Amino acid sequence: MKQQVALVAVTTTAATVVAVVALVKQYWKVQQDQQWGKCQRIMRKFARECATPVPKLWQVANAMASDMAASLSSSDEAKTSLNMVVSYVSPLLTGIDEKGMYYGLNMKQTTFSIVCGRLLGKNEPIIDLHVEDVSIPPNVMIGTSEELYDFIALEIAKFVSAHPENHDETPGSPESDKKLGFTLSCAEDKSTAISGSVITLKKFSADATGENEMVTGLNQALEKHGLNFRVHALVDDIVGNLAGGRYYDKDCVAAITLGKGSNAAYVDAAQLAPRWHNSLPKKGEIVISMEWGNFNSCHLPITQYDSSLDAASSNPGNRIFEKLISGVYLGEIVRRVLLWMAQDAALFGQSVPPKLLIPYLLRSPDMAAMHQDTSEDREVVHEKLMEVFGITNLTPMATEIVAEVCDIVTERGARLAAAGAVAIVKKLGRIDNRRSLIIMEGGLYDHYRIFRNYLHSGVWEMLGNELSDNIVIEHSRRVSGAGPLFLAASPDLDS
């Protein structure tokens, strides 16, 4: 009898345990289903707010084209979010008549590049192309402006000696001064690390006093060291890319940078820019730096995550377009969405990963790697979330959501950039009847395949089959790094 009672008790206990385990499993399944549902609702709402259907893209393009025209106006009452500037006033190359060896200089944060190449005219490719990167020593970085210019001039002298204009010509032989193309690659905070008693390099335009100081200082150093070069303008490196694009294709009308930051430059008619008629020629071509990162419009698809990013930035209310399309910000938007999901829907478990709270920890290359992961188990997503945020307890649901959030942010950014490209061609009145080439460069366009594909498809969808051939977008690889020498080959105004 006692054995029977004991057996019944054991059986009852086992059944209870089984029932408890079943209840626990059911509870966790219900919890997971609820969390999954919450994440799905957050993601669907985010996707709706980021949506860029073709009518939305045209609203953005039309608003930008209108702002471009207003920025060129002489009216002080013109309302525009853009403050475009004239970056270059000499004619660009024709690609036909430019022949000879040309030299250029590109200033960066803590380095500069010296470049030379031989143009053959008739749209032939550059030959004898040489590029040398030079690091600026720490003592020069904190020294005087004169010391910086002297250092640059000496490095140019060594470079020219190694790559003379003609192989049988002695460098420094008497002849009239040649132009030295001079471009500036700006840091993402718009100033380089060269500071102290030297100067602070910022984005320069044709009317910037800082440009004149640099040009004068470098020209004095070049003359001091016996170099027959003269700089006549300092421009953003995007203008050099545009000059190179024009050398290869007369229909090149614009250059766009899509990297950590973003900007666009395009060629317009001087007579359409009355704002500068008192200081510039009233006919011919001028190159405009759009500073399009500043563009803002009620038509931009802005979400709560973008608003919080903007509010926490060092320049709230400014550079709104750039904060939607450039590499510095794309990963940060993804991080903010994932953080909200982790806090509100336990995407990564009951506790929020501490590193997920750190702003700008997710860089766009890591985001691109996760987004473009085609492995069956999303191995790269697992690897990057562990590497960047220390997240290990990933469910298949979580990995899919991470990839989807990356896709939503990327698609929006790329298609908005496409709308910007169309806006430039619309402003020029070339959409319906003329071919227009736009050259692209920058890490997002160069290395982020899905971003690039979304951009191209965005332009095609806006124009349709009938007009899509009128806007051609090409990579700037043929002119990458050589922009300054194309500026050196550009004719002078009085040529």
Amino acid at 103: Y
Identify the band that residue 108 occupies on the pLDDT scale cut at 50, 70 and 90: confident
Domain CATH number, residue 138: 3.30.420.40
Residue 212 has what pLDDT?
A: 72
For residue 173, being part of any structural domain is answered with yes
Confidence bin at 197 (pLDDT 50/70/90): very low
Give pLDDT, residue 186.
Answer: 58
Alpha-carbon span 93 to 249, nearest angstrom: 10
pLDDT at 30 over 70: no
Phi, psi at 268, each rounded to 5°: -130, 170
Cβ–Cβ under 8 Å, residues 272 and 262:
no
**Rounded to 5°, angle at Cα 51 from 425 and 362:** 95
**Residue 3 token pair:** 């054995």
440 located within any domain: no
Segment 409-419, tens digit of pLDDT: 999 999 999 99
Per-residue pLDDT reduced to its tens digit, 395-443:
888 999 999 999 999 999 999 999 999 999 999 999 998 999 999 999 9
pLDDT at position 446 over 50: yes
Q: Could you give the number of structural domains in the chain?
A: 1
Which range of 15-19, 142-146, 469-473 scores highest in mean pLDDT? It is 469-473
At 109, the pLDDT band (50, 70, 90 cuts) reads confident
Residue 361 lies in a domain: no
| Residue 10 scores a pLDDT above 60 | no
Contact assessment for residue 369 and residue 342, using Cβ atoms and an 8 Å cutoff = no
In a domain, 128, yes or no: yes
Minimum mean pLDDT among 33-47, 147-161, 162-176, 195-209: which range?
195-209
pLDDT tens per residue, range 61-81: 999 999 999 999 867 666 889
Mean pLDDT rounded to a whole number for the chain:
85
Distance from chain centroid for Cα 237:
13
Q: Is 165 exposed, middle or buried (0-12, 13-18, 19+ CB in 10 A)?
A: middle
Alpha carbons 146 and 153: distance in angstroms, whole number? 10
- Domain membership flag for residue 111: yes
**pTM for the structure as a whole:** 0.86
Dist CA 419 CA 437 (whole Å): 15
Asked if the structure places residue 114 within a domain, the reply is yes
Tell me if 426 is assigned to some domain: no
Is pLDDT at 27 greater than 50 in this prediction?
A: no
Q: Where in the sequence is the domain holding 170, given as residue range(s)? A: 85-247+479-489
Does residue 457 sit within a domain? no
